[in-house]
Amino acid sequence: MANLTIWPILDHCIKIWASDIHISEWERIWFRIDWELWKVWWSVIDRIKTRQILLELLSDDKEVAKSFLDKKDTDFAYIHTDWTSFRVNAFFKLWKLAFVLRKIASTPKTIEELGLPKWVEKFTKAKWWLILVTWPTWSWKSTSMISILDAINKSRREHILTIEDPIEFIFKDDKSIFSQREIWKDTHSFATALRAAMREDPDIVMVWEMRDKETVEAAMELAETWHLVISTLHTAWSVQTITRLVNFFHPELQHSVRYKLWDILFWVLSQRLIKKIGWWRVWIYEIMMMTPWIRNLIRSWDLIQISNTIEMWQSDWMISMKNYADNLRDNWIIKEEDYINYFQDDM
């Protein structure tokens, strides 16, 4: 235990197919396997060893480590010796240093391998507009977004600019070329990078997350100038997504923002992971496409009717999450008891 480094911990994570690692001072190490946490029967990690692991994860950059100890939490990426990437969140809990590391796939999965709905292939043909992938947490939104960008990379000749915090997956140029920018290392903020993007000749801009009004405003302005913008938002449904985007702005501006969304919003993909019968997890989805009818509902702010419209048009590249889940239930892929609570308000 005295010679324990981060490498054997990460090697063990890869070997047992774990998705996450939890490390904390004076605790044993936990791994998340098939969505459940399991404790490793190694000795507890003391304070000195935990700080040594911090320096390893930060590549012995003591200045960055000192900055983190001052701020008390930070996000960054770490690349293991076999080029497997991990997204790391370092933080303190009850005055103890702790980490959560999430494993990132070394190669992007295809739309088919992820089991994304066939309609998602239409995303890869879009030339401009705004496309959003949503759900609050633990839905692997970034995995879906990487899959969509990789499909574009293999089929179109575009300049794809990504703005990330942190960079989790490094794309390899195929037919497209990538310019990947990380917050704090390559640019100061999402909004700053988005405003600079106009001078960087992008065709497609991926924004890792729309966190504030400035980022939302800059992303919408970019979509208005005939660019394709793909981003994520911590919302559960299409209607909630539209409402959240508008609510970023002052009430006096919300009317004009609705008109902008009427013009630039193209697709909303909401996804959630559900326990699968047998083993692992499967996604359930809601997909909303901006048909003329939905555009009119946004312009008139009649959002209650949007869910009904998704139900009515689901044969044409749209589907509600409840119907998608019901289809998986009917094919004995998931159990109704594992998803029905998400829709109690709609019943």
3-state DSSP call for residue 111?
A: helix
Fold category of 111-346 in CATH:
Rossmann fold (3.40.50)
Structure tokens given for 71: 């701020």
Helix (H/G/I), strand (E/B), else coil: 253: helix
Q: What is the pLDDT of residues 74-100, one digit of tens each?
A: 888 888 877 788 989 999 999 999 999
Strands (E), 147-203: 159-164, 177-182
Residue 13 pLDDT grade (very low, low, confident, very high; cuts 50, 70, 90): very high
Instruction: Give dist(CA 97, CA 48) in Å, integer.
Output: 10
Lowest mean pLDDT among 5-14, 55-64, 81-90, 113-122: 55-64
Mean pLDDT calculated for residue range 98-120: 86
Whether 107 and 207 have beta carbons less than 8 Å apart is answered as no
pLDDT confidence tier of residue 123, bands split at 50, 70 and 90 = confident
What pLDDT, on a 0 to 100 scale, did the predictor assign at position 158? Answer: 97
Residue-wise pLDDT tens digits, 277-309: 877 788 899 999 998 889 999 988 998 899 888
Average pLDDT on 310-327 reads 84
* Phi and psi torsions of 126, nearest 5°: -65, 140
CB atoms within 10 A of CB 46: 13
At 151, which helix (H) or strand (E)?
Answer: helix 141-155
Q: Is the pLDDT of residue 1 over 70?
A: no
Contacts for 272 with CB less than 8 Å, ≥ 6 apart: 135, 139, 236, 283, 284, 321, 342
Specify the DSSP class assigned to residue 165: S
DSSP letter, residue 319: B
6-104 CATH: 3.30.450.90
List, in sequence order, the alpha helices (H) in 212-320: 213-224, 238-247, 251-264, 292-300, 304-312
pLDDT at 347: 42
Kindly list the domain boundaries of the chain, sorted by start residue.
6-104, 111-346
β 228-233/204-207 pair status: parallel
- Long-range contacts for 77-84 (Cβ within 8 Å, ≥24 apart)? 77/104, 77/166, 77/167, 77/168, 78/6, 80/7, 80/10, 80/11, 80/14, 81/7, 82/14, 82/106, 84/10, 84/14
Is the pLDDT confidence value at 41 over 80? Answer: no
Q: What is the pLDDT of residues 267-278, one digit of tens each?
A: 999 999 888 887
Q: What is the pLDDT of residue 129?
A: 93
Give me the pLDDT at residue 254, please.
94
pLDDT bucket at 345, cuts 50 / 70 / 90:
low
Stretch 12-16: mean pLDDT: 92
Q: 191-227 pLDDT, tens per residue?
A: 999 999 999 999 999 999 998 999 999 999 999 999 9
Judged against a pLDDT cut of 70, whether residue 52 lies above it is answered with yes
Residue 115, pLDDT score: 83
